Structure 1
Amino acid sequence: AICVPTSNGKRGNPVIWDARFFSEMTAVSGDVGARHLIGEYDDLVCEVEIGDGGVLVDIDTPQALHSVRATAS
C-alpha cells in the first residue's frame, strides 16, 4: 500500500511506502521524486485525511527547512 496524508482533499507529505516500492524509488533520478509511482499504482493508494495543512508543506531542501523554521518562530 501507499499511504498519503491529505488536508481538505489535497495530497501531502510524508507518504508512507510499502517496501515493495523501494527498488523503483531508488531508480528515480533528478528532482522528480516518486510521485509518478502514486499515479502508476493508484489502486494501491490509501488517502488519510489529517485535517492539518502542515502535511501540504514540502521540505526537501535545507533552504525550505530554514524557511519553515523561520515562519514557525
Structure 2
Amino acid sequence: MTHEPRNGPEAPPPDLQRAAEAIEAFLEALGHPPSSDPELAETGRRVAEAWANDLLAGYREDPAAILADTCASEA
C-alpha cells in the first residue's frame, strides 16, 4: 500500500476550490450565506488561500533544506 506524503515538497497541492466551498458551507450553516452578502462573496477563497499560502505553507517546505541554509549562514 502506498500513500502520498502529507508534508514536505512532495505533498500534493492544496485543493483551494474544495477548501473555499467548505468555508462557504460553514458560513452558510452559521446563518451568513456568502451569496447574500457582497462583503462575504470572496471570503471562502480568501480564507482558503490564507490557510494554504500563509498559515500552513511551512508544511510543504523541506526542513533539512531550511536548517542547512540557516546553519550555513551562521557559520
> Would the TM-score normalized by the shorter structure come out above 0.5?
no
**TM-score (ref. length: structure 1):** 0.27
Relative contact order, higher structure (CA 8 A, sep 6+): 1
Structure showing the higher strand proportion among its residues: 1
**TM-score (ref. length: structure 2):** 0.27
Structure showing the higher helix proportion among its residues: 2
